[in-house]
A = this chain, B = another copy of it.
Amino acid sequence: MIRFNNDYNHGAHPRILEALASTNGESYGGYGIDPWCERAAEEIGKYLDCPEAAVHFLVGGTQANFTVIASALKPFQAVVCADSGHIHVHETGAVEHTGHKILALPGKDGKITAKQIAGEAEKYRVSGVREHIVQPKMVYISFSTEYGTIYSKGELEEISRVCKEYGLYLFVDGARLGYGLGSCRADVTLKDLARLTDVFYIGGTKCGALFGEAVVIVNPLLQEDFRSCMKQNGAMLAKGWLLGLQFYELFRDGLYFEITRKADEYAMRIKKAFEERGIPSYVESFTNQQFVVVENSVAEKLAEKYVFEYEEKIDENHCCIRFCTSWSIKAEEVDALVRDILAL
């Protein structure tokens, strides 16, 4: 069986393991105060053009999401996101568990618009009963989204502008940032994210690392005491250098971008194969996640050889399934899938 089921089903890029092995005899200071975290922040910083940004390394995505959100908001403040947002539907209420309401807006292909955000913020601004409703204070978007879609630079600029206008923080969940930035359709760079957001994170878990997410806090207001919030939320790894080391390795020569771009290219080959075969996309994605609508029999056929994700029933005869490439997929695995799709 060849696994296209997700982008976190393998350990780490071999260079990560080598780096861990080669430093295993060394000893370091704990809790993220060590040379590797410093160097990793420095390497990441080279892509940001934002000297005041602070970089922190956390273990996982859910943890990064609620730690960032809870550290930024006052008790009566809420976070706005798409109704398909990971924090809204797949994190067991982690954000609400920190006490904050999520205001979910109807998303289109996993995305929300500047106009929707402005509408929500305006509703609060003009409300005569503000004390009775939560205050939208942060916007959470994903890049790429749950559906593999990405925001254009123009869209991000517009969202950023609206956020500034209404005093909202903009937070980008980058669990799949590598695949988003590596897309053939992407016109956004890390520099743009540093310019347009208040805080975002660079996903490692799904993009070549064993585990880890690098939270980049651009807005100085959100930087203060973030480490206290990390510790309080169990998000401060004792051996923090394990995270720094991984991100150093991924960023020192651009490995991060290389391996995720490659995965996107593989995904494009799969996308093209489905298209050639006349199998429609469920949503048009140019990143590593491909959602297609197939006949049930086709899904069964493919399942004989491939592991992929069943998303939902479309009608009696059709279903939506997801094929996911990643840094660990091999060319021959993609070759095989493409061949088999075309032969359907």
Q: How far is the CB of A98 from chain B (nearest CB, A)?
A: 8
Closest residue of chain B to A86, judged by CB?
A: B132
Further contacts, 10 of them, CB under 8 A, given A135-B228, A211-B242, A234-B235: A9-B28, A10-B25, A10-B28, A59-B237, A63-B234, A92-B131, A92-B232, A94-B232, A97-B232, A131-B231
3 closest residue pairs by CB, A with B? A63-B234, A93-B101, A76-B228
Q: What are 26 A-B pairs with beta-carbon distances under 8 A? A: A8-B30, A10-B26, A12-B24, A17-B17, A17-B20, A20-B20, A27-B328, A31-B132, A59-B234, A59-B237, A60-B234, A62-B234, A71-B74, A75-B232, A76-B228, A76-B231, A76-B232, A91-B231, A96-B99, A130-B228, A135-B225, A205-B238, A211-B237, A211-B238, A233-B233, A233-B234
Chain A contact residues, majority secondary structure: loop
Contact status of A75 and B71, CB under 8 A, knowing A60-B234, A99-B99, A133-B92: yes
Number of copies: 4
Q: Please list the residues of chain A having a beta carbon within 8 angstroms of any beta carbon in chain B.
A: 3, 6, 8-12, 14, 17, 20-21, 23-31, 59-63, 66-67, 70-71, 74-76, 78, 89-94, 96-102, 129-135, 205-206, 210-211, 225, 227-239, 242, 328
